[in-house]
Amino acid sequence: MLIRPEQVLAKRKSMELGDLDRLSNLPDEILHRIISFMKVRHTVQTCILSKRWKNLWRQLPYLNFNHVDFRNSCQFDRFVDSFLKHRGTSGIKTFHLDWKSFNVGETTKSWINYVFTSEHLGYYPVELPHSFFPSSSIEEIYLRGSYFPMKEIRHDSIDLVKLKCLHLSRVCWIDEFMQNLITGCPRLEEMTMEDCTLETSIIIGSRVLKKLVIEDCSCSTDVKIHLSIPSLCSLHVSAIPGKVLWENMPSLVTAHLNLWYSVPDCYRNSGYKLLSSLSNATNLKLTCGPLNCKQKNDVLIIQPIIKDFLEKELLDCVAFNNLKSLYLGELDVNTDFIVVPQFFHLSPNLEVFTLCHEEV
């Protein structure tokens, strides 16, 4: 069979292209982004690929350590400690630390201190049962515990001057720590409290906070949360049994309240104007039913209280001049419809009205 010269050249060129390592020729930024989707210990193993990859992992700005990738906590601790000690001096953009240790020793604290020295750190979701540290660079924190009390943490160590977003989940707050935490975040714009327990009253006072979510939380009998946030744009409160005290929120745009958990006996007698504090909202959602289906038996007891509360509040309530959308959920069709005309009368610019009734 006759083989033409051009066929030989084409085959040789094809082989040369096949041997070409195009991936290694990519810039460091792209390679870092690619290997950031790998487990951290696998990124270290790329050092054996070639000289190009030998030190690439040392400058990786995206760090994600998870204890589930290791056999035991000792192996995990040794790896993280060794990784950070042998890492280069480049900045860290993302740091995620997830482990199940109840004891925060000096080694663990050294990891956090190492990360906080990064000038480029932008996002820091960390699962810490007992520790919280100061930082001049961190912008977002996700703190998830297992209902461990935060009593032992030094209050004067809270200094989060650039923190914008704070997410708290399954944390138990004791003494003045929660209050000091809020005070230590002067630029906080978004705050979420989910499934937390509060043992002392707090005042959430801010002129920069824009979004607040309080969900599935619980309090001691005499504990209250006092909201004084004129800058607040979005509010969501549910499942915190009658413990929130309100001040006027002139910047409010969207509000969602579950009245089942937000109307204590003290509201009915104290003269607190809950609805008036929401009067600047553009979108208002009020739900009146229990979140837990096991509480359905309490409906006959609680629903009349909510109805009585709404009637009294609407009687002296200021107008909802900005209100465009109103949602009323889980109303008692036999007794609660009387409040609907009152809402209409106070909402001259209302465009969308949704009424949701669920059988109980």
DSSP string spanning 191-222?
Answer: EEEES-EESS-EEEE-SS--EEEEES-EE-TT
AA identity, residue 71: R
pLDDT band at 147 (very low <50, low <70, confident <90, very high): low
Q: From edge to edge, which strands make up the β-sheet containing 218-219? A: 172-173, 197-198, 218-219
Rg over alpha carbons for the chain, rounded to the nearest Å, is 28
User: What is d(CA 5, CA 230) in angstroms, rounded to the nearest whole number?
Assistant: 81
Ramachandran assignment for 195, one of left (phi > 0), alpha (psi -120 to 50 degrees), beta (any other): left
pLDDT band at 265 (very low <50, low <70, confident <90, very high): very low
CB atoms within 10 A of CB 216: 16
Q: How many domains does the chain have?
A: 1
pLDDT band at 353 (very low <50, low <70, confident <90, very high): very high
pLDDT of residue 242: 55
Position 263 in a domain: yes
Q: Which of 58-67, 236-245, 301-310 has the lowest mean pLDDT?
A: 301-310
Q: From edge to edge, which strands make up the β-sheet containing 244-245? A: 202-205, 225-228, 244-245
With a pLDDT cut of 70, the percent of the chain lying above it is: 70
Position 64 in a domain: no
| Cα-to-chain-centroid distance, residue 60 | 26
Position 348 in a domain: yes
212-234 per-position pLDDT tens digit: 999 888 777 778 888 899 999 99
Q: Are 246 and 255 in contact (CB under 8 A)?
A: no
pLDDT of residue 347: 95
Residues spanned by the domain of 330: 259-360
Position 289 in a domain: yes
Backbone angles phi, psi at 78, to 5 degrees: -65, -40
160-208 per-position pLDDT tens digit: 888 899 998 887 776 677 777 788 888 999 999 988 888 778 888 889 9
Does the structure show a pLDDT above 80 at 107? no
Where are any strands of DSSP class E within 88-137? 94-98, 124-127
Position 193 in a domain: no
Position 247 in a domain: no
14-66 per-position pLDDT tens digit: 545 455 678 888 888 899 889 888 888 889 999 888 888 988 999 888 888 88
Where are any strands of DSSP class E within 86-155? 94-98, 124-127, 140-144
User: What is d(CA 128, CA 140) in angstroms, rounded to the nearest whole number?
Assistant: 14
Position 19 in a domain: no
User: What is d(CA 238, CA 79) in angstroms, rounded to the nearest whole number?
Assistant: 41
Burial class (CB in 10 A: 0-12, 13-18, 19+), 160: buried
Position 18 in a domain: no
Q: What is the pTM of this model?
A: 0.63
